[in-house]
Every structure is written in C-alpha cells, then in structure tokens.
Amino acid sequence: MIDIHQLLDSINDSLDDSGKYEATLRLLRSTARKYNEVYEELERLKEATGFNKPFPILRLPREIRDEIYTYSLCAAKPVETIPRWPMIGLDVDNPFKPPTPGLLRANKQIYREAVEILYSRNAFRFQEPGQLFAFEEQIRLESRKRVKEMCIWIRFPRSDEVVLDPKALLRSEYDSVPSHWIAALKACRLEKIVHLSIEAEMLFCAPTALLSMPKDLQDSIGEFLGRVEDGKMPRLSLTGFWEEDREKFPKRWEVVMDQWDDYKKEMEEIRRELEGSEEYPDAQLASDFGDFEDEEEVDDEE
C-alpha cells in the first residue's frame, strides 16, 4: 500500500513552493510508473497461470463432481425451510442451511446434476404443518420426489388446552399438536420419504418427562411410512418418547430412539448420584444422622 504522507515527507523542505510542486509531480509520476509496472507484471502472471479463468468443473469425472456437490450442498443439520435468527457476532457457518447453495446458479448442467443431491441428501425440518405445505408449493414436482428424509416437531398440548379440529381450519392455520400433524401427514405430497424423524415435546415440563405415543399418531406414522417402496427399509427416529414405543411399529422397520439433550444430562446426573451412593453406602447415613458415636460418648459422661 502506498503511504502518500511518507512520500510527501520525503520532499526536501528547503525548496520553495514552486520547487516543492515540481518535486511532488516527479515523485508522483515515478510512483505511478512503478505501480503500473507491477500491475502489468501481475496481469501477465495471471494470464500465464490461468488465474482469471473459471475452474473447469465439468471436465472432472461425474463421481468427483458429485463429491463436490455433496460438500457444497449438504447441511450439517436438518435444513430449516424458514430462516433462523442470524447468528450475530458468531463467525460460524449456519449448520441449518447448505454451505454453498449458489452453486446451483452456475449453469443449467450443474443445476440438473446438483439439485438431485440437494434434495435427496438433506433432511428437511418442519416446526409446524404450514411450513411443510409451503415447502411443497415452493419446489417442483420432480424435487418433491427427490426428498427422502424429513423431521417434524410435535408439541403435546396441556390437559386444559383447547385444540381445534383441523377440519375446521385452513392448512396454513394448523398448529404443531398431534391431531394437526396427523392431518398434515395424510395430505403430505412428499411421496418418497424413507426416513421420518419426530421430535415430541410438552412445553414447560421437566426434562425427564417422556411422552407416550398416542394410538392415532402411531397409526398415522404407520400409514405414512407404509408408502415406502418395496426393497427399501422405512426408518423412524423418535425423540422424547418412552423406549417402549419402539415396539408399536413393525419389526422390519429401523426404529431409532433418542432423547433431548436436557434429558440426557439429567439422567447422567442421576446415574452418577446412584453410583456414588452404591460406592459409599454409609456416607448418606452419616450425613443424615451426624456423628452418632460422639453423641453416645457425651451422654455417658453426663
């Protein structure tokens, strides 16, 4: 970078104004000439090395191109179809979106090849049924057939909460409660789903409070994943449900049980407490009753 102040300070102060003016012009001409020489040399190097030329990605074998598409378009976590709050102050990539979606705009051939990976290799997460319906309207029919994995969040209502019948509502008005999701899964147009993830939660409850799978929701899941083509194994991931709910689904399915992080932390603390009490069984008695022997000695002295 050129420091103009340093250049001007190098001019002899003993010169009069006209002399300083001429010296300044000569210095600026010399600096501009050197800059142009360096610039032209850099341009020659760029031309010789192909620095300014686009990378010939289409000359690579298709297998390598597919690897590039996978790294560029597969998100670290299930893709959320609505934008999250920006991660202000954090210099990190958003794990809920593909790293480089702009790759699809490179040209038509790259779009045709990469769009398959975008929809078939990512899981798409929907917080409420309206997001699912909006997603289906946004993408093309061919892309809907490419989606293989989706994740939904179900909010179990409180016992005193009034839940409206989905038949009396517009689809955009559906809530995240089980009965509304049952209606949404029945109307879902993502016909090639193989892996369904369900995160169930009852708000304002203890982290160890697991939920039991309702029969109507179980039947809806069975009907939804029952559409999986022959030769493919349906996969169901359940978070927030009792372990026994695994047995409610066909044996040929791959059913994965998981729990919320808060639940895992709470159960880990309980496990450690139990292990500590088993290792030192007398410790709890001592803390509850105090030093019993010392009390006996005091009584004897009295």
Longest dimension (CA), the chain: 113
Summarize the confidence of residues 166-175 as an average pLDDT: 95
* pLDDT tens profile 28-51: 788 888 888 888 888 888 777 766
Q: What is the reported pLDDT for 259? A: 82
Q: Give me the pLDDT at residue 283, please.
A: 41
DSSP string, 82-137: SPPPP-TT--S--TTS-S-GGGGGS-HHHHHHHHHHHHHSSEEEESSHHHHHHHHH
Q: How far, in Å, CA of 142 to CA of 121, rounded?
A: 15
Mind listing the pLDDT tens digit for each residue in 55-74? 788 999 999 999 999 999 99
Is it the case that residue 96 has pLDDT exceeding 70? yes
Lowest mean pLDDT among 113-127, 225-239, 274-288: 274-288
Q: For strands 79-80 and 235-239, give the pairing.
A: unpaired
| Percent of the chain whose pLDDT exceeds 90 | 54
Alpha-carbon Rg of the chain, whole angstroms? 33
Strands (E), 5-81: 79-80
Query: pLDDT value at position 54?
Result: 77
Asked which of 3-17, 55-69, 73-87, 157-171 is least confident by mean pLDDT, the reply is 3-17
Model pLDDT, residue 194: 97
How many Å apart are CA 55 and CA 103, to the nearest integer? 13
- pLDDT score at 170: 95
Handedness of CA 242, 247, 248, 254 (dihedral sign): positive
- pLDDT band at 177, cuts 50/70/90? very high
Domain boundaries, the chain: 4-49, 55-121, 122-259, 270-301
CB contact at 8 A, 147 and 192: yes
Q: What's the confidence (pLDDT) of residue 81?
A: 84
What pLDDT band is residue 131 in, cutting at 50, 70 and 90? very high
Q: What is the band of 153 on the pLDDT scale with cuts at 50, 70, 90?
A: very high
Calpha distance 76→93 (Å, rounded): 10
pLDDT band, very low/low/confident/very high, at 108 (cuts 50, 70, 90): very high
Q: What is the mean pLDDT of the chain?
A: 82
Compute the average pLDDT of residues 128-144.
Answer: 95
**Exposed e or buried b per residue across 130-159, where buried means at least 16 C-beta atoms within 10 angstroms of its C-beta:** bbbbebbeebeeebbebbbbbbbbbbbeee
**Going by DSSP bridges, is the β-strand pair 123-126/79-80 parallel, antiparallel, or unpaired?**
parallel
Interval 211-223: pLDDT, tens: 999 999 999 999 9
Higher per-residue confidence, 2 vs 290 = 2
Tell me the whole-structure pTM to 2 decimals.
0.70
Confidence of residue 53 (pLDDT cuts 50, 70, 90): confident
The confidence score (pLDDT) of residue 230 equals: 87
pLDDT for residue 29: 81
Three-state DSSP state, 176: coil
Cα distance between residue 74 and residue 67, in whole Å:
10
